[in-house]
Amino acid sequence: MATPTWPRVPYPEAVVSRTIFFGWVLVQLAGASGTTGVVVPYNLTWESTNFKTILKWEPRPINHVYTVQISHSLGNWKSKCFSTTETECDLTDEIMKDVKQTYLARVLSKLANATSSAAEPVYTNSPEFTPYSETNLGKPKIKSFKQVGTKLNVTVDDARTLVRKNGTFLSLRDVFGKDLTYILYYWKASSTGKKTAKTNTNEFLVDVDKGENYCFSVQAVIPSRNAKQKSPESSIECTTHEKGIFINMFFIIGTVVFLVIIFIIVLSLSLYKCKKTRARRNKKENSPLNVA
């Protein structure tokens, strides 16, 4: 009967020797490439609202620094945020030159004490970014509102961006034109049922019930987008129609009461004077005549 054979188990000393050898080889290779201790950037993301655009990445540097480069399809790489220890870089001034262009950025990493003659730094590319179709719409603000009778007028404050033309900062409406729509959500203050209205300007004029208070908010929308179509809703505002009536009524009633009080005081003084004059006359008539 044949004796079974088992796999040969290497001596522990041989395993340790091989491990040390391979580790030494890796260190030599890394040193030859000039990237010892350099961490490759990862998780590059664009954060942009109303064209204010920042590139962020990881990890936090320990013994290395970053430099950011940005380019579009027709341009060369331009360096920004040189040798920084931060993990974000504001690229607004680059993308605002043409918000309809598609941009690519990359983050370069190198040792903090590396010389200019050192090997090329390692880098990671960002996703492509087109500001016009990908910047988030900021939360809009209500500039003014007024309710007169059965009409409610609401005006939206058109946010300014950092995009410039002929030295002037453009508004969202200037940049997006008719692509930008505002939605008005409005409802009676005493109920929760909402109605909506849309406009491709910055003003709403909607029909409401006379004498009722209304609350409302607005939202910016770009219907032509596939994603990031809507902004957050604005803060809620409410009309105070009834409150105004009560204030007017209180003022009127207060005025009437004040006039009544003045009338009573004047009347009381007049009656008092008349009564005093009559008493003096009666006393004089009833007094005895002096005898000559």
Q: How do the domains of the chain map onto residue ranges? A: 42-133, 141-239
Look at residue 23 in the predicted model and tell me its pLDDT. 41
Look at residue 252 in the predicted model and tell me its pLDDT. 79
Same fold, 42-133 and 141-239: yes
Q: Give residue for tokens 């009559």.
A: 278
Look at residue 276 in the predicted model and tell me its pLDDT. 73
Burial class (CB in 10 A: 0-12, 13-18, 19+), 105: buried
Of the CATH numbers 2.60.40.10, 3.40.462.20, 2.60.40.1180, 3.40.50.720, which one belongs to the domain with range 141-239? 2.60.40.10
- Looking at residue 78, its amino acid is K
Task: Provide the CATH number for the domain formed by 42-133 in this structure.
Answer: 2.60.40.10
Look at residue 118 in the predicted model and tell me its pLDDT. 61
d(CA 140, CA 157): 7
Task: List the chain residues with pLDDT less than 50.
Answer: 1-17, 19-35, 243, 291-292
49 CB-near residues (< 8 Å, 6+ apart): 135, 136, 137, 138
Look at residue 154 in the predicted model and tell me its pLDDT. 96
User: b/e string for 123-151 if b means 16 or more Cβ within 10 A?
Assistant: beebeebebbbbbebbbbebeebebeeee
- pLDDT, tens digit, 9 for 90 and up, residues 88-107: 999 999 999 999 999 999 99
Residue 104 near residue 71, CB atoms below 8 Å: yes
Look at residue 274 in the predicted model and tell me its pLDDT. 80
